Every structure is written in structure tokens, then in C-alpha cells.
Amino acid sequence: MIYEHHHMAHLATSAMLSDIRKGRATWTVNNRLSPKTTYWQGVADWPRPDNAFQDSSSGSSLAIEFKPPGHDKGEYVRGLGQAMTYLQNFEMSAMVLPHRANDGYPITAYSADLLESKIAPRLPIAVFEYMGDPSQLSVRLALAPREGKSPSIPKRDKRVFWAYWRDLSQFEIFELLCEMDRPGATYERAFGKFWSKLRSRGKALNWEQTTRKPTSSQAYFYSEKINTNLSMRHVGLIDSRGCLTDAGYDLLHHGKIYGPSSISYLMKLGNLILTFGRHLELMLWIEEKPRIVPGRHKKDAAGFLRVLDQELEKAGIIAEAPRGMPKATFLRDEPKLWNKLGLLMKSGANSYFFRREGYRFNWKTCIDMVNYM
């Protein structure tokens, strides 16, 4: 199941990052990944690793390919090819594999031997093995030094690893996809038409399917154009050129059949936000952190989010929490989005924050959405 893949990848990645930041990662090489290592915060179109780390102090980076259990040998060998392609953009990479393939073949030992003794010079790819619990990793092959010039840390266009999202609704996404479903259409043209036909005239619909207030402000036009572009690209609906992707066409086709107000369309959009947009990964981290946040910081959402940002920074999940900025925390609009998608439990008629606890995720809906095809 897709959810299990993401959850297990999170457990493995969390264990790897914790060891690095505590100085216990014996599999690293030449201090290229120091205790200052953090999550890489960028967005990759292709190739797209399951997770990645960066160390700004050394200029190093590492991409991670995680494979869940229950697959045949061919799937795991393809993972080796994926780990190799990551070396085009990242200095190093790592494979995390189960002990055996579904036919009992010791696939991790095979992969490690292939890299260590059959490929010359040895590639800077580490191999990890797990028996059941992916947070309990064994090192089958440590990293080798990279020969020649290493690529710089891949450029990032934002400060967090999850998809940017503000007030954009499921209905507005559908209208933009429709505008882009034309010969030669690009995001720039599509947004201009969407703005002139709907948004500026007060005909664009919000999540509740009521109309937004009309506006002719150029400042709003430019800010919303940028914000919408980021959201659509970060969840994989458009590429870096502003053209529809396969996922974009798929969601558009789904909306035309079932309608943008349908549960099915919402599930498809939510699936992209959670998986490609990595909001599921963020939710898994948040699920862990409240346990160590004192109750005095859980009196209201604002205070809780401030401390949560700090805890994520301490763990290396975000590079640096905002300080002295108009936006007080990185986590601000995300809970609003999760509420719209039905991913938060309600604490009252109009509230989804629980005093002295934080947020309660609706994991059943989340898992159903992640596994929705």
C-alpha cells in the first residue's frame, strides 16, 4: 500500500537523520554529513528521491531511495538504478532495502556486493538493510568518497520540504486546469484568463463553494499568480516550464467526469498534496513532536505552532524557524488546508485545535486518501 511505503520511508529517514545529527552515523565519509545536517528543502521534478539531506557547512547532499518489503528482485534492482541517477544532482545517495525479496532471495547482500566489488570505481552509494522495523537499520555498505567534482547542493526555491499552499481551493484548481487544457497553453496564460474571467469578477469559488470577493488589485494579481504557481508545481500538477504534467491531466480528467465538488475529485487532489507535496511526511513528524512539547505551550494554536517550529528546527527537519518576520511560523496555513481536506478531527463546531494536546489527525481519512488511485 502507498501509505505503508511513505510511513516506512519516514521511519527509516528519521533514524538516519537522528544518527547523523548525534554524530553516530559510522557510514558517512570524511565528515561530509556533519551534525549540522538537515532535510533538503527543495523540490525535484525528476529524478525524485524519497527523501534527501543536505549539510550547508560542508556543501554535501545525500538522496535516499527507500524500498518496502514484498516485491520481486527486479523492483529492488531498479532501486539501484534510481540511486545512481540521484548522483547527477546529489553528491551521494543511499538505498534502504528489506533483508529479502518476496522469493526469499537476500537482495540487500546482493546489492551491496554488486556496488562494492563489481563496480569500479565504487560509487558513493550506501546500502542499508532492515528486517521488519525500518527504523532499525543495519549498514551493509558504507559510503565511499566521491571521485571527481561533486555537484553543489541542489537549488531550492523555498525554505521547507512540503508543498506551499495558501487559500487556493479545489474549484479554482479545476478552473485553472481547464484553462491549461488548450493547445499551446501555459500557466501564465491560463492564470491570466482565470483572473480576468473569474477571480477579478468575484466568480471564483472557495472551498465552501461560495464566491470570493472581486478584486482588481495588481498586487493581489501578482502575489496570487506566484502562490498558485508554487502550489500547483509543488504537488506535481505543472512542471517547471508551466506545462501540465501527467498528474495534472489525470486530475483534470477526473474532475470532468465526477465534477470538482465530488468526493472522488477531492480525494485525488488530496492524494497529490499528501504524497507528491509531502504533507504526509510533515504530518508524521508533527505526530511525533507534540509528545515532547510541554503542556504550557499547548494553550492555543499560535503558541503551539511556534514551539513546534522550534522542535522541527532542533531535529533538522526545517533549516531555520522564522524569527522577526511577518509570518511568525512556517506552519500557519497548513492546518487550514488539512481541515478542508478532512484530515483533522474537530475540537468544536469551528475549531480543530485541542488545548494541551495540539492537533488530532484523522488517520483513517488520511490513509484512504494516500491510497486512493
Q: What is the pLDDT of residues 220-266, one digit of tens each?
A: 999 999 999 999 999 999 998 999 999 999 999 999 999 999 999 99
The CATH code of domain 2-141 reads 3.40.1350
Per-residue model confidence (pLDDT) at position 327: 65
Domain limits of the chain? 2-141, 170-274, 279-370
Task: Give which of 74, 50, 47 is closest to 64, Cα–Cα.
Answer: 50
pLDDT per residue as tens digits for the range 20-79: 999 999 999 999 999 999 999 887 777 899 999 999 999 999 999 999 999 999 999 999
* pLDDT confidence of residue 234: 93
Cell of 219: 498586487
Q: How far apart are CA 97 and CA 50, in angstroms?
A: 13
For 331, residues 6+ apart whose C-beta sits below 8 A from its C-beta are: 286, 305, 308, 309
Confidence tier at 310 by pLDDT (50, 70, 90): confident
- Give the confidence band of 311 by pLDDT, cuts at 50, 70, 90: confident
Q: How far is CA 126 from CA 6, 140, 199, 352, in A?
A: 20, 8, 50, 42
In three-state secondary structure terms, 281 is helix
Residue of higher predicted confidence among 283 and 296: 283
Note the pLDDT tens digit of each residue in 161-196: 899 998 899 999 999 999 999 888 899 999 999 999
Query: Which residues fall within 8 angstroms of residue 349, CB to CB, at 6 or more apart?
Result: none
Rounded Cα distance, 251 and 256, in Å: 9
Burial class (CB in 10 A: 0-12, 13-18, 19+), 60: buried
Query: What number is the average pLDDT over the span 313-336?
Result: 77
The reported pTM is 0.93
- Amino acid 322: pLDDT: 58
Tens digit of each residue's pLDDT (9 = 90 or more) over 85-111: 999 999 999 999 999 999 999 999 999
DSSP 361: B
Average pLDDT, rounded, for the chain: 92
CA–CA distance, 293 with 285 (Å, rounded to integer): 13
